[in-house]
Amino acid sequence: MSKPAVTYELLHEDKKTGARRGVVHTPHGDIQTPVFMPVGTQAAVKAMRPEQVKEMGAEIILSNTYHLFLRPGHEIIRKAGGLHKYMNWDRAILTDSGGFQVFSLGKLRKITEEGVAFRSHIDGSRQFLSPEKAVEIQTALGSDIMMAFDECAPYPAEREYIEDSMRRTCRWLQRCKDAHHNTEKQALFGIMQGGMYKDLRKESAERIVDMDLPGYSIGGLSVGEPKELMLDVLDDCVEYLPKDKPRYLMGVGTPDYLFEGVERHIDMFDCVEPTRIARHGLAMTSHGRINIKNAKFEEDFSPLDDECTCYACRHYSKAYIRHQFKAGEMMAAMLLTEHNLHFLIHLMAGMRKAIEEDRFTEFKREFYEKYYGDAEY
Amino acid sequence: MSKPAVTYELLHEDKKTGARRGVVHTPHGDIQTPVFMPVGTQAAVKAMRPEQVKEMGAEIILSNTYHLFLRPGHEIIRKAGGLHKYMNWDRAILTDSGGFQVFSLGKLRKITEEGVAFRSHIDGSRQFLSPEKAVEIQTALGSDIMMAFDECAPYPAEREYIEDSMRRTCRWLQRCKDAHHNTEKQALFGIMQGGMYKDLRKESAERIVDMDLPGYSIGGLSVGEPKELMLDVLDDCVEYLPKDKPRYLMGVGTPDYLFEGVERHIDMFDCVEPTRIARHGLAMTSHGRINIKNAKFEEDFSPLDDECTCYACRHYSKAYIRHQFKAGEMMAAMLLTEHNLHFLIHLMAGMRKAIEEDRFTEFKREFYEKYYGDAEY
């Protein structure tokens, strides 16, 4: 057996919670975990230059198989020398499999054992994705971590639907593994499904862990279910996953879910939340979320967050960013995106330090009191 | 008399054409001339961070009285500590007077001797600008160079209209001068008008030069008239302006007009052209203008311009930028704006060097052959 492309090293576990401080080694550098991964859906983190994303400390970004398959097409990116070169990002890249996007298309797609037929959201053309195709695309993209082609089932859903879907996802994972040959440079992660049914989660975990993959993600959570239910299911999910592999909770990017996930021994997260809300004028600050459109910021010449050291906070006031937003200038999205990504990346750095010092619970409490308990904004 | 805020130093004149190589000294640093000034209409150069504009060598940018008066309001910018601090730009700023924008409103404005009543393009509210108000606003903004409040008359227009308008603009200039007191930190430039009537241009020049201002601009050209007529009038205009003051040709930013202007002894230029066309997918290159939307760039992995050293050309291919444009990503505007501004700023640097070496005509010919004569694109 050759050395796998991606390995996980556990450095420390928080004494009280067991929260994990580790490192994911990839062909494009190490990733300190727990980590939040900024999303660059269409081969760009929206409104950001890659150097800016690097400067704030990001060691890995996520990009999307579905979008890049449809536009510009993975063959073009392969010819360009792969996604890293194409988009000028020399650190690690994780690509999702397209499963989540395809299943989000609703009536525009049809699932069979072979794969999913769907219509492109861009031009309505007929398209088909399968486990083999998803691996082919991600091989062309050259991501360090490729995700298995799965079905992210909706919530709520009948047990029978979830059971069928989960088992098909497990069969698809085996097909992904069989189709994946570039194992020394790209790692394939499996995805656990099973909806909110704990026994199905367990079955899913056993099936995918059996395939001995370099990493596992938990899919199908944070899809509309109540937070308590999500956390209850998550508690169980993590138990079933091996300790020596990285664990990735998909689609999670608000501070509370990041804390809850880390507390439950998750290592990796991604979400469009910080970049998307930035384009709607929302900023995450150490005192909670603020809406820059608010009239009270019209003459507020202080930065978005007094405690923040990001580019936006070092150089611009709320009054300026509010003006840029109201005036329809890209500058608003550029500054708010920078700030929100910086906020989450530094939040994760704070969590890592707290784990190292066995004070994760205290760090979480201090953060919650300021972020969620303060009614200043 | 105290030292004026802005002075001009003539370094060299091209032996053949008399094109001027000089320096404009301002409270926020020196400007090497001839210079192209990027436009930051609403207190931001669209899609650019100020540091990026500085890095490419810009020593002055232009911002707009009309826009900033209406939104966010000059009082807010005054409270923020002035426009430089507000927008994080520590080099020189020139602000136009709002005249051009107000007169562009057409039927939404009414001109009297006192000033111009108009309706805001943002909320339809009634507004009023006068010479005194334009100076008050620009004083609050704290620009290094403020422009007089003028009427930029349309083309074509009757002689009687142009004559009345030009004389009123001259009376308004005197009122601007009388209202302007912060002369040690901010310079007031006069604007020559007179349409395409050479004797009216002469009269306008004599009246404004008589007021002994630190700089003069030529307004009312490049407003739709044929190029030959524009250049013919420009030839005369320049003759009437003093040699020891900077000359600014307003609203000009295509390579040919920049060359023609410099050849006619103009020192300063501004235009939204490079930034606006960038947002429409157009790039200026040493081989002419290209449209990144063109299908032939789909698999073109070379930079926008092989001879360019800008950030976009160092890191990205035409194929990537085309994809970003087609995908509706801000990255396309960010990269094309960077490139186009870099192109014009470096073109001006090339002109300055050519003047120093008395080979402006040769430099112009070489550029034209590649930019306008090459049918490669």
Residue A221 carries which DSSP code?
-
User: How far A295 CA lies from chain B's nearest CA (Å)?
Assistant: 12
Dihedral sign for Cα atoms in the order B46, B311, B145, B200: negative
Per-residue pLDDT at A377: 38
Residue B303 CB contacts under 8 Å (≥ 6 apart), including other chains: B312, B313, B314, B316, B317, B318
pLDDT of residue B258 exceeding 50, the answer is yes
pLDDT of residue A208 exceeding 80, the answer is yes
Q: Do A330 and B46 touch (CB under 8 A)?
A: yes
Chain A residues with CB under 8 Å of B82 CB are none
Share of chain A above pLDDT 90, in %: 95
Per-residue pLDDT at A108: 86
CA distance B159 to B198: 11
Q: Do A319 and B72 touch (CB under 8 A)?
A: yes
User: How far B328 CA lies from chain A's nearest CA (Å)?
Assistant: 10
Determine the average pLDDT of the residues in A103-126.
92
Determine the average pLDDT of the residues in A353-371.
97
Measured CA distances, A233 to A172, A251, A264 (Å) = 23, 16, 11
CA distance B160 to B7: 35
ipTM over 0.85: yes
Determine the average pLDDT of the residues in A82-94.
98
B30-67 pLDDT tens trace: 999 999 999 999 999 999 999 999 999 999 999 999 99
Q: Specify the DSSP element, H or E, that contains B26.
A: strand B20-26
Taking any CB pair shorter than 8 Å as contact, residues of chain B touching chain A are: 42-44, 46-47, 49, 67, 71-72, 76, 79-81, 86-88, 298-299, 301, 311, 315-317, 319-320, 322-324, 326-327, 329-331, 333-334
CA distance A81 to A75: 10
CA distance B100 to B116: 11
Mean pLDDT of chain A: 96
C-alpha A1: how far from chain center:
30
- Helix H, strand E, coil C: the string for A282-334 is EEEECCEEEECCCHHHCCCCCCCCCCCCCHHHHHCCHHHHHHHHHCCCHHHHH
pLDDT of residue B375 exceeding 60, the answer is no
A151-166 pLDDT tens trace: 999 999 999 999 999 9
pLDDT of residue A227 exceeding 70, the answer is yes
Pick from A40, A5, A21, A43: which is nearest to A270 by CA? A40
A92-106 pLDDT tens trace: 999 999 888 888 888
Per-residue pLDDT at A90: 98
The one-letter code for the residue type at A341 is L
Determine the average pLDDT of the residues in B113-141.
96
- Annotated catalytic residue, options B144, B150, B270, B305: B270
CA distance B70 to B129: 11
Mean pLDDT of chain B: 96
A161, exposed or middle or buried, with CB in 10 Å at 0-12, 13-18, 19+? middle
CB pairs under 8 A between A and B: 94
B318-350 pLDDT tens trace: 999 999 999 999 999 999 999 999 999 999 999
Neighbours of A358 (CB within 10 A): 15
Q: Specify the DSSP element, H or E, that contains B85.
A: helix B83-87
pLDDT of residue B374 exceeding 70, the answer is no
Per-residue pLDDT at B103: 86
Determine the average pLDDT of the residues in B212-238.
96
Determine the average pLDDT of the residues in B12-37.
98
- Would residue A164 show up in a list of annotated catalytic residues for this protein? no
B215-218 β-sheet, strand order: B35-37, B268-270, B247-249, B215-218, B187-192, B145-147, B92-96, B60-64
Chain A residues with CB under 8 Å of B317 CB are 80, 86
Count how many Cα atoms sit within 13 Å of the Cα of residue B194 in the half-sphere of its side chain: 23
- Would residue A236 show up in a list of annotated catalytic residues for this protein? no
Determine the average pLDDT of the residues in A215-219.
98
The owner of tokens 């991964």 is A37
CB B102 within 8 A of CB B129: yes
